[in-house]
Structure 1
Amino acid sequence: MTTDTSPATPPPAPPPNAEAEPDKEQNLLQEILSGSWLVSVLAIVLALLLGGVLIAVSNAEIVAAAANFFAAPGSFFSTLFSTVGEAYSALFRGAVFDWNARTTERAIRPLTESLVSGTPLILTGLGIAMAFRCGLFNIGGQGQVILGATIAGYLGYALELPPVVHMLIATLGGIIGGAIWAGIAGVLKARTGANEVIVTIMLNSIAGYLLGYLLKQGWFTHTTSANPQSRAIDDSSQMFLLLPPPFRLHFGFILAILATIFVWWLLERSTIGFEFKAVGANPHAARTAGISVAKVTITVMVVAGALAGLGGAAQVLGTEGKLTGGISGSIGFDAITVALLGRSKPWGTFLAGLLFGAFKAGGYLMQSQTGTPIDIVLVVQSVIVLLIAAPPLVRSIFRLPTPVLKRKEA
């Protein structure tokens, strides 16, 4: 009998590890968040320098002086520094303190306007930052803000309740709306493995179209106006002002401070916060330790959506006063930058929200007094996003050492 000496057929290659893709996403997120506070500050400095270049090339006087640079270089640099300086000076005066104002009230109003603009950014940014800490890319802040504002606004004019109670009920409705909307993505992620980036982006579009549809329904808007907007919310549902008119700073800013303290406590002092961070650091090890990754995923998304919904409630009940198609503006997308700039830390997110609120408030004065396009402020914000998302780029520009990251245990 002849013995078969042919080499054995090699075993089939194992199927690709389904968990490899989540690992890649979490490694990417950890790389983005690996930058230090110095990297964040330098990113802002670089963005402002680029903004100065754009201010220069968009100014006719500087362009004319550049044409005679070799004949009169001093005139060019004088015009350059004075123009850019005036633009950034107007930005500061419109965002923090206007020393040219005739009254103390007008001098300090810019700071309060920055706080008003930063309030929804802080609240929404906290929700996105919490998801980032758990290794989830919550890109659905925009939709969660829209749902929160929609429900809060509707309850704000459709119900008749006593003043404080009405405000609390409408605010709670906004929180629930955002939590439900984000919870959908959390359940799909936990139960089916659906990519939360795709799901939340789609939910953004659905929320926007849903609001557009509702604003065409008379039963919802409670008005016969041909414009796609609701009637004004009742005075009893408005978030009360912290300062007398003409200041617009409202109770929503107090809620932003309380929410920041709550998120800090939740992540740093609570058991469930420990589970959040454990899943964000290594979901496989967390699962081995007995932590339900699915439960944590759903819980994180619900809490994140609740915070974003609170941001939408603050926008409609504290600032806008009625529902429109553009009620959310770009809050949900700007909040992603706020969370990244704040390194997904509660107080870092709080300060980043104030910074972007200052950009928004000061941009209008910069445009009106110096003729500088307000789009330059948007470019500065976008460059900050780019640099924050690429810490190695900032380190290479300023020759900073690369931090040593802790390697995961096998």
Structure 2
Amino acid sequence: MGEGNTDAASAEQLAQRYRSLVEHTPDAICVHESGTIVYVNPAMVRLLGARSPEQLLGLSITVFVHPDSVGPMLERIQHLTAEGSASPRTAMDLVRVDGRTVPVETVSVLTVWQDKLAFQVVVHDLSAQRAAEASARRAEAYFTTVVSQLEEGVLVVDRQGRVESLNPAGRRILGIDEADPVLGLHIDEVPLTMIDRDGAPLKSGRHPMAHTLATGEVITQYVFGIERADGQQVWLSCNCRLLNPDSPDSAGVSSFADITAYRASRRQLEYQATHDALTGLANRSLILSQLSTALADEGGTLVTTVLFIDLDGFKAINDTLGHAIGDTVLQIVAQRLQQALRSEDVVGRLGGDEFLVLLAGHPQRADLPALVERLRITMAEPIIASGHRLEVSASIGITELGPHESRTPEAVLHDADLAMYRDKPSAHRELGLGQNRRSNNTHAS
């Protein structure tokens, strides 16, 4: 076989491989010469919705180009003057046989087709991509609409701590006006002060969002407070997580709810459960709890002395003047006890006219008689209630806690009660009135 025949065979093989590639490529390919379609591959037939290539061959290429895209297309190919030159990738719209519009991306190459210059066009269908983009836009719009309607605040912060978005509820909760620019600000620059549960300043580095951004860990129901620019203090419960846990550059999102009213309500319920409704003093439950804590303290620094106080003759006031005046007497006695003792001492009402004092720290044994005498004098001062001038005295029992105390709170209370009973006036004991010292006052907690 001669050299010429060998070259011809090689060229034919190359052409065959090219035709096979063009026929099976997923991208649509057509060739138009002087504007007339002279070749389409199967993918182009499918793209334009034709039954066969013959339905397309011989037609003007502009028949299948959207009118808005015809002018720019013609202008692009006019600049292709050298064989092998190609136009830039361009998005445009084609029109199928059934009239539907198809978004595509095209590249036109000036080439030789059957010994004549022609334009080979590679067409990539963008329908799936556009559908995905439209779906993403719809999802984003839906997400934006939902987030904007939430009662919870939603804050998105980027990796550098800058605010990317804040929904209307978030602005309302944080006290930030719609007109105030906040996007792009670092979280430290947002006009508010964060505080922890105890009211101490909370630096942004200690906020759970900082922890989530640093570690990717999800934080739930973290409670903290903010002092807003308008002076209001608001308590929040927030959750923090990464928007995309699989991305190292993911922003963080925090959802938060205003729990100020709930917190105040809960604190009020806790207060009511542990304090006497009439006097505001600690009730029996809280007193026993405090005493139990003190007994468990091996250092013995919380409570070292317990005073059991009972008002002498209080039952007579209730019986003769009524419970309203009796209540006033109890309230005044409670106030006097609190004023006469230190803030670290605990004053409680056990019930009726019985009070208990837990002395904190290490009072000197020699100081106890003076303290007890001061309390007697304070409570013996006349009380004016509804025009009645009343005088009440108090019996006070003392029991001290040892360094290795083994008694239960109830046992300590019992010992203090016995000590108080021994302190009752001798005339009362001789008449047996001490056994009936507890009044029938019904306002005990």
Give the TM-score normalised by the residue count of structure 1: 0.18
Greater RCO (CA < 8 Å, at least 6 residues apart): 1
Greater share of strand residues, 1 or 2?
A: 2
Q: Which has the larger radius of gyration?
A: 2
